[in-house]
A = this chain, B = another copy of it.
Amino acid sequence: MLIDDLSAALPADRLVRDPDVLRGFAHDEAEWAPHALPAVVVRPHTAEEVQTVVRSCLRHGTPLVTRGAGTGLSGGANAVEDCVVLVTDRLRAIKEINEQERLAVVEPGVVNDDLRAACAERGLWYPPDPASSPWSTIGGNVATNAGGVCCVKYGVTRDYVLGMQVVTGTGELVRLGRRTAKGVAGYDLAGLMVGSEGTLGVITEVTLRLRPARAAERTVAGYFDTTVAAGEAAAAVAACGILPSALELVDRHCLAAVDAWKNMGLSTDANVVLLGRTDAPGAQGEHEASVLLECFEKAGATWAAQSSDQAEADALFAARRLAYPALERLGPVLTEDVCVPTQAVPEMLARIDRAALRHDVVIANIAHIGDGNLHPLLVTPPGDETARKNAQAAFEDIISGALDLGGTVTGEHGVGLLKQPGLTRELGPAVLELHRAVKRALDPQQIFNPGKVFHEGTPA
């Protein structure tokens, strides 16, 4: 029995078998994604213990689902029948922050914000900042190639992963990638692991590139009557020749929900708020702020200004970050994550509006709009079956719209379970077959997170 194996090989406190506790590890935050109860939850303390777990799973042919904080929004960490769920929450050491090489070496369970704080103490900056950063872990961020507010100027998690330690599909503990600034020795297998959602191995350590701390940001806020008008402002910014350090959209649904929860005094007459930031220092920062302002005004902002009140600007960004949990208080929320070319953003936002009307669904909008990465949030009343079906139909409409406009079904949340039909349409059969070939090559016994991202199918 697998359990006997694990019990014999690991200290007793590594294993969780209490069904009530297991239930807490059965799924992530994706709404209405299928999940099962795991046979056991394992909380290893070292890479070698992870290797022990993988080898046990290989011996017994048991599926292994790796899980960070469980903040995923696509079902990628959902347990499958009789699987082992490996939780990384005890692998939480920041092993090294190296000012000279500007890199950090961390275990996968380190929380994003904790790493960012530790870097900041040393005058360094780890840019990737998903909205889940107070809770989500670096391992999960790497597994989904997480994005965030910074991406419009500073890129995604992938751009900061130099190397990693991984337990492979044959149970080996290996190092991929490097510690140097550059390197082309062999295939970019570390890069391949990023965004593979736990289907190719278990990450036990990550080496991350850091940047020097940056200048304070200036914030420009604009109010718009419609998401489409705000989208036109964002398209103008994308074409204006500057790189803002943030360009975010928040609509009144989100602001009202956050305000109802946190009483931040956010209520405003605006239907849609656009938040631009620049971190260019000095006169260049002034210039960039004025360009953002001009883009907002030309696109029809009803009000726009460079914020002179840092607390007010921070509150608006905090509201953007809290939008998802605030809306979840009201009922189940289905979260979209399409990403379209920036010039297609106004049309995509119009299609989202039409999907809301067509299917009679309340759709709140937040967006990393500077990247064309939209997060329509489909809000439903608790326990309302019709509303659920309507939301799911609107979800499919939005995916179709994004693909029609040359976009992708997932900008930063990952495929997990919810985006599998969309992925099949986006990639097509030949590219899916390449995925299957890679999966078979690196996970020959198909134990890692089976059924996620794509169906393995049978060998061609």
Secondary structure type dominating chain A contacts: loop
B-side contacts of A252, CB under 8 Å: none
List the 5 closest pairs (A to B, CB-CB), nearest first.
A441-B441, A437-B441, A181-B371, A183-B408, A182-B411
Inter-subunit contact A431/B212 (CB<8 Å): no
Chain A, residues 179-218, CB within 8 Å of chain B (1/0): the string is 1111111111101101110001000000000011100000
B-side contacts of A428, CB under 8 Å: 174
Inter-subunit contact A192/B188 (CB<8 Å): yes
Chain A, residues 137-159, CB within 8 Å of chain B (1/0): the string is 00000001101000110011011
Q: Which residues of A contact B (CB under 8 A)?
A: 99-102, 123, 144-145, 147, 151-152, 155-156, 158-159, 168, 170, 172, 174-176, 178-189, 191-192, 194-196, 200, 211-213, 235, 238-239, 241-243, 280-284, 339-343, 368, 370-373, 406-415, 419, 422-423, 426-428, 430-435, 437-438, 440-442, 444, 453-454
With A185-B410, A186-B453 known, 20 other A-B pairs at CB within 8 A are A145-B188, A152-B181, A155-B159, A156-B182, A172-B430, A180-B373, A180-B406, A181-B339, A183-B339, A184-B415, A187-B196, A187-B435, A187-B438, A188-B194, A212-B241, A281-B284, A282-B283, A437-B441, A438-B441, A438-B442
A-B contact pairs, 21 of them (CB 8 A): A100-B235, A100-B343, A144-B184, A158-B191, A174-B431, A175-B431, A179-B341, A179-B406, A181-B339, A181-B373, A182-B408, A183-B411, A184-B414, A186-B423, A186-B432, A187-B192, A189-B438, A212-B241, A213-B241, A280-B284, A441-B441
Inter-subunit contact A151/B182 (CB<8 Å): yes
**A174: which of B180, B430, B441 is its contact (CB, 8 Å)?**
B430
Distance in angstroms from A242 CB to nearest chain B CB is 7
**A186: which of B170, B172, B342, B454 is its contact (CB, 8 Å)?**
B454
B-side contacts of A414, CB under 8 Å: 184
Assembly CA distance A435 to B340 (angstroms): 33
Assembly CA distance A100 to B415 (angstroms): 28
Distance in angstroms from A177 CB to nearest chain B CB is 10
Inter-subunit contact A242/B341 (CB<8 Å): no
Assembly CA distance A441 to B276 (angstroms): 45
